[in-house]
């Protein structure tokens, strides 16, 4: 009897993704207005995720849809990147609308080279928390869950966006983003795609699609 082969892990220098609380992938694709959806291998999908993240000409066009896992459907690509100024308002509102339709929707950005971290947690049509490490003035809501626990561990009783940027506390938090990465938040709130391991015998495909332009 043969052994299972693990598919490659999802990695990108700048990884942006949307998580929607449903296993109905087709419904998510329709809600997002994705077109030209086609199946690709898991390995090709992982490679494409990194390629799109480095695409300087059209980074906000192609997205990769990961098969539903543990009750969530993930869609990956810079299109969902909260730190990109041209995307922030659009994807924040999009995530809020998706949460009204599906109950929960979340956005994440993880910079592997300490390029910043960001997340947005939305539930039932309301943004519960938005944090963009490089743009604290855009923060919304109150820290909770692992973010709150790590802030407490650093001795930060309030919100990081309210800190004096010249203070020691702010410096300690920003030095490593307080060890509070988007992947840390995602692991507790939905799924951390960088830790997803699958058996190629059971899940061997992703889907690539074109995201709609917006004004």
Reported as a single tens digit per residue, the pLDDT across 164-202 is 988 888 877 876 667 789 999 999 999 999 997 665 445
Contact 106, 95 (CB under 8 A): yes
Edge-first strand order for the sheet with 205-210 is: 35-41, 205-210, 62-69, 72-76, 14-20, 104-111, 117-123, 126-132, 140-141
Angle, CA of 43, 33 and 192, to the nearest 5°: 40
pLDDT of the residue at 139: 96
pLDDT of 5 higher than 70 = no
> Which ranges in 36-181 belong to alpha helices (H)?
42-53, 85-102, 145-153, 168-175
* CA-CA-CA-CA dihedral for 109, 47, 21, 182, to nearest 10: -20
58 to each of 118, 173, 195, 201, how far by Cα in Å?
22, 33, 27, 33
Query: Span 13-28, mean pLDDT?
Result: 96
Q: Render the burial of 72-109: b for 16+ CB within 10 Å, e for the rest.
A: bbbbbbbbbbbbbeebbeebbebbbebbeebebbbbbb
What pLDDT digit, counting tens, does each position of 79-89 carry? 999 999 999 99
pLDDT at 167: 86
Nearest CA to 145 out of 190, 110, 100, 107 is that of: 190
Residues near 5 by beta carbon (within 8 Å), at least 6 away in sequence = 199, 200, 201
- Reported pTM: 0.92
Residue 203's pLDDT is 62
Q: Is 93 helix (H, G, I), strand (E, B) or coil?
A: helix
């Amino acid at each position: 009897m043969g052994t299972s082969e693990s598919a490659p892990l999802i990695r990108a220098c700048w990884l942006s993704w949307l998580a929607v609380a449903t296993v109905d992938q087709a419904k998510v694709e329709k809600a997002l207005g994705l077109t030209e959806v086609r199946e690709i291998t898991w390995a090709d999908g992982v490679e494409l995720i990194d390629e799109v993240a480095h695409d300087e000409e059209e980074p906000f066009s192609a997205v990769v849809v990961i098969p539903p896992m543990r009750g969530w459907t993930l869609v990956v690509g810079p299109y969902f990147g909260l730190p990109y100024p041209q995307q922030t308002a659009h994807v924040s509102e999009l995530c809020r609308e998706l949460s009204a339709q599906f109950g929960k929707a979340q956005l994440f950005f993880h910079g592997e080279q300490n390029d910043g971290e960001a997340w947005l947690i939305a539930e039932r049509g309301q943004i519960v928390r938005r944090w963009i490490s490089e743009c604290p003035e855009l923060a919304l809501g109150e820290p909770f869950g692992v973010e709150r626990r790590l802030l407490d561990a650093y001795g930060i009783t309030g919100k990081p966006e309210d800190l004096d940027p010249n203070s020691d506390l702010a410096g300690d938090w920003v030095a490593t983003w307080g060890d509070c990465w988007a992947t840390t938040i995602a692991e507790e709130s939905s799924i951390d795609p960088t830790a997803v391991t699958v058996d190629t015998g059971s899940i061997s495909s992703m889907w690539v699609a074109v995201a709609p332009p917006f004004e």
